[in-house]
Amino acid sequence: MTQYDIAIGRQPRALTYHMRGLAYAALGNHKAALADFTKAAELEPKSAASFVSKGDEENALDLPAAAMESYRKALGVDPKEVDALAAVAALLVDRGDLAGAAQTYEQALKVAPDESASGSGWRRCVWSRATPPKLSSSSTAA
């Protein structure tokens, strides 16, 4: 991280904090990554990417409420931020709000319809987290 540390020491910029945060995240240092993404978001509050990355690290640290807030801030900056929409949908699934997740998923499909092709992309990731509904005995009888 030395080069990032030197660059930040000379001239702190949101992009440099964001890039160092990505490096920390790749190394599994989620606390340091979160600190850098938080600083990047403070320096550049109109960067949806910093809020998405901040939310990702909060999610990794098992802080779902904080993650949801960060993803919502990203969507406040850019309502078409597909990664934020996917993350919100996944968190809604985790909460058991499948209707909210479906609505968010539909919104994301309007933004990026190609992501749904053949079950690829984030759609599979979101829905794989959902618990399938239990079938009643009457629905399984022929």
The per-residue pLDDT for range 64-81, each reduced to its tens digit, is 999 999 999 999 999 999
Mean pLDDT, range 13-17, rounded to an integer: 89
Look at residue 34 and tell me whether its pLDDT is greater than 70.
yes
CA distance 59 to 6: 29
Residue 109 — pLDDT band, cuts 50, 70, 90?
confident
Fold of the domain spanning 1-57: 1.25.40
Going by C-alpha positions, the residue among 108, 112, 92 that lies closest to residue 100 is 92
Whole-number pLDDT of residue 116 = 53
Top-ranked range on mean pLDDT: pick from 6-15, 70-79, 108-117, 124-133: 70-79
Question: Are 88 and 71 a contacting pair, CB within 8 Å?
Answer: yes
User: How many CB atoms are located within 10 Å of the residue 71 CB?
Assistant: 29
- The reported pTM is 0.77
Residue 80 pLDDT: 92
Domain extents for the chain? 1-57, 79-129
| Cα-Cα end-to-end distance for the chain | 63
Predicted confidence band at 126 (pLDDT cuts at 50, 70, 90)? Answer: low
CB under 8 Å to 138, separation ≥6 — which residues?
none
SS (H, E, C) 44-82: CCCCHHHHHHHHHHHHHCCCHHHHHHHHHHHHHHCCCCH
Interval 77-98: pLDDT, tens: 999 999 999 999 999 999 999 9
Instruction: Report residue 110's pLDDT band, with 50, 70 and 90 as the boundaries.
Output: confident
CA dist., res. 133 & res. 124, Å (int): 17
Confidence of residue 3 (pLDDT cuts 50, 70, 90): confident
Mean pLDDT over the full length of the chain: 82
